[in-house]
């Protein structure tokens, strides 16, 4: 039966289209559904759920592989329920030691409306990508992780990125060799974590047949390169995983401190989103209008 003209476009297909339309594609982290709507309002064509963000923001835990697949899926569902901007998800090492675990992760992400994910080559007891002491699995094991993810997707448009932390562990040449093995296993793109200069990104971009993602996270090993600088190095995607989250946390600490110290919030009111701004961002008045209509219909009966 031919597809209907109203058949919805998958999230993965939307992500791939955004990647074609915007080079490099800016992908901004959204710590919750409200931030996803704000990112969409700002004009971003793709958004992101960070594993470290789920751990710190939703659970109050460090980024050490403690959170589970269900923890991530909860945040994914809340975002995709209200925001149609394609969502890229951090799945750490795949949430399990076997291909079956990775397959379950991929299928669940597609079911919950994600557009793609990245899976990494650290050992199960992982660390933040910009911390020392990282340990990685063999190249073959990482390639097997990628193949398991690719084989599991039932939407061919779902976008799978292989992240390698090998630059910090074994150097650029070893990381590039590992990236090439991941591409051969079916990865749609490569995430070269903790790259320290533009020349490194250019090396990856020139050697690989797929897009390269640059993780421009604050206070890490990678300088805060601009989109223009990264474009010159051939980068295809630029990720800002926790920028708004960091700003939100700093603002919250400032407000809490002021209220406790001053006994009122008058000195920090200018830092706050107004009630009307919040209502407008989440479509409050549209919901209220529907409620008014229902009440009016009830009274007319």
Tens of pLDDT, residues 78-120: 999 999 999 999 999 999 889 999 999 999 999 999 999 999 9
Concerning whether 128 is annotated as a catalytic residue, the answer is yes
The pLDDT score that the predictor gives to residue 1 is 43
**Exactly one of 130, 145, 163, 178 is catalytic; which is it?**
163
Catalytic residue among 16, 35, 118, 145, which? 118
pLDDT band at 264 (very low <50, low <70, confident <90, very high): very high
Residue 217 marked ligand-binding: yes
Active site residue 276: no
**Phi and psi (nearest 5°) for 292?**
-60, -40
Query: Where, residue-wise, is CATH 3.20.20.60 in the chain?
Result: 11-244
Active-site position among 16, 32, 35, 48: 48
Q: Is 81 annotated as a binding residue?
A: no
User: What gap in Å lies between CA 227 and CA 152, rounded to an integer?
Assistant: 33
Q: Give catalytic status of residue 155 as yes or no.
A: no
CA dihedral (206, 208, 214, 219) in degrees, to 10, reads -90
Smallest CA-to-CA distance from 129 within 191, 197, 54 is with 191
Tens of pLDDT, residues 147-159: 999 999 999 999 9
Structure tokens at 31: 């710590």
Is the link from the previous residue into 292 a cis peptide, with omega within 30 of 0? Answer: no
pTM flag (> 0.85) = yes
pLDDT at position 5, please?
56
- Residue 215, annotated as binding a ligand: yes
State yes or no: is 63 an active-site residue. yes
Tell whether residue 167 is among the known ligand binding residues: no
Look at residue 120 and give its three-state secondary structure: strand
As given in the structure block, the two tokens for residue 158 are 């779902």
Cβ–Cβ under 8 Å, residues 264 and 71: no
User: Whole-angstrom Cα distance, residue 119 to residue 160?
Assistant: 8
Given pLDDT bands bounded at 50, 70 and 90, which one contains residue 6?
A: low
Q: Is 275 annotated as a binding residue?
A: yes
Has 120 been annotated as catalytic?
Answer: yes
Does the domain at 11-244 match CATH 3.20.20.60? Answer given as yes
Res. 132: pLDDT tops 90: no
User: 3-state DSSP call for residue 85?
Assistant: coil
User: How sure is the predictor about 124, in pLDDT bands with cuts at 50, 70 and 90?
Assistant: low
Candidates 32, 35, 45, 63; catalytic one = 63
Cα 287 to Cα 274: distance, rounded to the nearest angstrom: 19
């Amino acid at each position: 039966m031919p597809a209907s003209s109203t058949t919805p476009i998958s999230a993965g297909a939307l992500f791939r289209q955004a990647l074609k339309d915007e080079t490099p594609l800016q992908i901004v982290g959204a710590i919750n559904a409200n931030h996803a709507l704000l990112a969409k309002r700002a004009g971003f064509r793709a958004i992101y759920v960070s594993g470290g963000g789920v751990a710190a923001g939703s659970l109050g835990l460090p980024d050490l592989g403690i959170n589970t697949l269900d923890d991530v899926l909860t945040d994914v569902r809340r975002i995709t329920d209200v925001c149609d901007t394609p969502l890229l998800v951090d799945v750490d090492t795949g949430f399990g030691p076997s291909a079956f675990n990775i397959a379950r992760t991929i299928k669940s992400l597609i079911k919950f409306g994600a557009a793609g994910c990245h899976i990494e080559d650290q050992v199960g007891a992982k660390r933040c990508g910009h911390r020392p002491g990282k340990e990685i699995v063999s190249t073959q094991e990482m390639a097997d992780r990628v193949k398991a993810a690719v084989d599991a997707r039932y939407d061919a448009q779902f976008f799978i990125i292989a992240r390698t932390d090998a630059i910090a562990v074994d150097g650029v040449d070893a990381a590039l060799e590992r990236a090439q093995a991941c591409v051969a296993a079916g990865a749609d793109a490569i995430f070269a974590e903790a790259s320290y200069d533009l020349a490194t990104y250019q090396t990856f971009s020139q050697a690989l047949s797929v897009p390269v993602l640059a993780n421009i996270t604050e206070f890490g090993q990678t300088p805060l390169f601009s989109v223009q600088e990264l474009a010159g190095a051939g980068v295809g995607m630029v990720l800002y995983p926790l920028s708004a989250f960091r700003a939100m946390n700093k603002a919250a600490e400032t407000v809490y401190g002021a209220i406790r110290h001053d006994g009122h919030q008058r000195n920090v009111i200018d830092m706050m989103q107004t009630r009307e701004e919040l209502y407008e961002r989440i479509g409050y008045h549209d919901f209220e209008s529907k409620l008014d209509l229902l009440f009016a219909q009830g009274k007319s009966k």
